[in-house]
Amino acid sequence: MTRATDTRSSGEITGLLRDIFRRRGDESYLGEPVSMTEHMLQTAWIAEQAGEDRTVVVAALLHDIGHYTGEFGDDYIDIGVDNMHEVAGERFLGRWFPPEVTEPVRWHVDAKRYLCAVDPSYFSTLTEASVRTLELQGGPMDSEEVVRFSANPWLDSIVRVRRYDDGGKVPGRKTPDLEHYLEMVKEVLDEHLDAGD
Ligand code: FE
């Protein structure tokens, strides 16, 4: 669906996201010791503390939203299927959000494959679950893929969001609440939708 056919307001879209978090956010984050909401809030909090623009904080908050729009259940890792949640997330968010938000969402999985190829110390920082999904996602990039991936104009923010994602898996870490970040979501939407894309 494109913006032309989807005219929901920033308040309605923010409400939709709030509802998804409320209904699904307590689910575990695929093999990690945190819930989906904890993981997404921690990722946003790390981005915010790093001084990122609102768009990048919002990308960090919503990078895994595609897990909620997929058709596969939580056991997809066990049955060896990659659910392509980053593609689902980009499609969902792309109805309303600018590329500053959707590009880090779309490429956060490939950013792991990219970093494994270009940063020798990166692989050792991955959790066991993340190493497991790396295999399903195609393993480290080869040199041709690295060249292609590096051409993305949003490469830097894509890689930064990936690193925040990797850091957002700490049980019990305190963060601001969801409403704090939904306010930022609404601000980003108000700016973008007003700009008449
Ligand atoms: Fe994540």
Output the CA 196–ligand 1 centroid distance in Å: 30
Question: Which SS3 state, helix, strand or coil, does residue 39 take?
Answer: helix
170-190, pLDDT tens digit by residue? 999 999 999 999 999 999 999
Output the CA 194–ligand 1 centroid distance in Å: 29
DSSP string, 57-90: HHHHHHTTGGGGT-SS-GGGTTTT----HHHHHH
Output the CA 157–ligand 1 centroid distance in Å: 15
- Whose tokens are 């049980």? That residue is 171
Average pLDDT over residues 111-121: 95
Output the CA 184–ligand 1 centroid distance in Å: 19
Output the CA 185–ligand 1 centroid distance in Å: 18
pTM over 0.85: yes
Please report how many Cα atoms fall inside a 13 Å half-sphere around the Cα of residue 188, on the Cβ side.
24
Output the CA 166–ligand 1 centroid distance in Å: 7
Read off the pLDDT band of 72 (50, 70, 90).
Answer: very low
Average pLDDT over residues 33-46: 96
Q: What is the overall mean pLDDT for the chain?
A: 89
**How many H helices and E strands in the chain?**
9, 0
Average pLDDT over residues 9-35: 90
Residue pair 116/122 in contact (Cβ under 8 Å)? The answer is yes
Read off the pLDDT band of 71 (50, 70, 90).
Answer: very low
